Amino acid sequence: MPGQKLNLDTIESVRSYIRETNPKHIKVGVFDIDGVLRGKFIARDKFLSALDDGYGFCNALLGWDVADTLYDNCEYTGWHTGFPDANLRIIPESGMILPFQNDTLFFTSEFTGASEAICPRGVLRRVLKRAADMGFSIKAAMEFEFFMFKETPESLEEKAFRRLQTLSPGSFSYSVLRSLVQEGLYQEILDTFDSIGIELEGLHAETGPGVVETAIAVDGALAMADKASIFKAFMKILAQNRGLMATFMAKWNETLSGQSGHTHMSVWSLDGKPLFHDPAGEHGMSDTMRYFLGGQLAYLREFAALVAPNINSYSRLTPGYWAPTAATWGIDNRTVGIRVIPGSTRSQRLEYRVPGSDVNPYLSMAAAIGSGLLGVERKIDPGAISTGNAYAQNVPENRRLPSNLETAAVLFGGSEGAKELFGEAFVRHFADSRSFEARQFARAVTDWELRRYFEIL
């Protein structure tokens, strides 16, 4: 059933709405370090109190992995802290009636106080404050590919995640046949997100069995990260309510292309003038665009942990599978790391192609924008353009993406640019969290190892 965007923008407007509608309980949620939506129901009176004073969640929400395994290597939280509550602020403009059962009222939140330094949304807000101080506003749009399966959480366990049945067989990109056979699903996706203020400007079948791709219509960068985060979480709910599963992991099958989370962006003045286009510039690029691009390229290797944050992310970043492997750039070239899309004064933009669909949108956006701002501040030139097949290009070590999460975590933890943009507390915490994830994987015995070694050795 459709939901409703409430269009509230102040604490007082939320308070008035709650008093008028008098719900017994309200659902509140927050996105953790991995972009996973965590939440709970709270009673009406407690919610009204939280509008003024905030409310608490155990700070383990920022101190464990996607499987609720506590980090053993971070300073912010752990057994040594006793796991106190972290305070959260309700975000008024996030209010909606959920597009599922029971007309549930829902608001998202963000961490405040001591936890704000670690909060993913807080990290992006600080980057955007830096942009505003430079006289810039950022417009962005995200697109996601995701695989869909005729499976349930129970069937995945029963099958040990093998021999899974995809929504449709074969590769049939932009298929009208597939999208009309599944028209009920496609229409439900469009209607669901439209009802809560998330306009999907495109939705279609992609290359691969059961792959769907969507593009979220352009918005301000913070609003886009909010929408992208909600889209990923709610798309999974929509699928499971239909007896299906949707996954946003970067690459679920070694024989198939991975799933992207590309980000399109452009820089505007605070009074609404586009700043990326210059008809006299090479390729129509203004100096602002060139330097912004230069910064993104210069810091892509150091910031890789933010845009490829999981073990599986690096399985996607392989030549010939529609994912970049280096900090390269080109004009309308889909083999590079950052694609310059030429256009009109208002449409010229950059496509940041390294992120997979597994990213935390707040952190991926912070990396893309923050590095661009450093480029403008330091007037970093993007260097030589890539033409043709960028996979075949000889790229220096400092422009190659790391090949694994462990290396990415070390690079990020030692990045002075990251500390300047995101704060030392966040950089230390996030680098430690990725190192922890790498250690978890190092203990795993994979199917590949069993098949290769079990009988022979």
Which residues are CB-neighbours of 87 under 8 A, at least 6 positions away? 54, 55, 56, 111, 112, 113, 115
- Res 155: pLDDT: 97
* Cβ 108 vs Cβ 94: under 8 Å: yes
pTM surpassing 0.95?
yes
Q: How much of the chain is helix, strand and coil, in % rounded to 5?
A: 40, 20, 40
Which residues are CB-neighbours of 220 under 8 A, at least 6 positions away? 137, 138, 139, 140
Nearest residue to 294 via CA among 417, 414, 430, 393: 417
pLDDT tens, residue by residue, 90-120: 999 999 999 997 889 999 999 999 999 999 9
- Res 322: pLDDT: 85
* DSSP result, 121-168: HHHHHHHHHHHHHTTEEEEEEEEEEEEEES--HHHHHHTTT-S--BSS
- Res 310: pLDDT: 98
* Cβ 104 vs Cβ 11: under 8 Å: no
Helix (H) or strand (E) holding 350: strand 349-352
Burial class (CB in 10 A: 0-12, 13-18, 19+), 383: middle
Q: Can you give the pLDDT of all 457 residues of the chain as single tens digits?
A: 689 999 999 999 999 999 999 999 999 999 999 999 999 999 999 999 999 999 999 999 999 999 999 999 999 999 999 999 999 999 999 999 999 978 899 999 999 999 999 999 999 999 999 999 999 999 999 999 999 999 999 999 999 999 999 999 988 888 899 889 999 999 999 999 999 999 999 999 998 999 999 999 999 999 999 999 999 999 999 999 999 999 999 999 999 999 999 999 999 999 999 999 999 999 999 999 999 999 999 999 999 999 999 999 999 998 888 899 999 999 999 999 999 999 999 999 999 999 999 999 999 999 999 999 999 999 999 999 999 999 998 899 999 999 999 999 999 999 999 999 999 999 999 999 999 999 999 999 999 999 999 999 9
Measure the CA–CA gap between 370 and 280, rounded to whole angstroms.
27
Q: In 155-284, where do the E strands start and end?
A: 200-205, 211-216, 219-220, 245-247, 263-269
Measure the CA–CA gap between 234 and 99, rounded to whole angstroms.
9
- Res 174: pLDDT: 86
- Res 321: pLDDT: 82
Distance of CA 216 to the CA centre of its chain: 12
- Res 141: pLDDT: 98
* Cβ 232 vs Cβ 250: under 8 Å: no
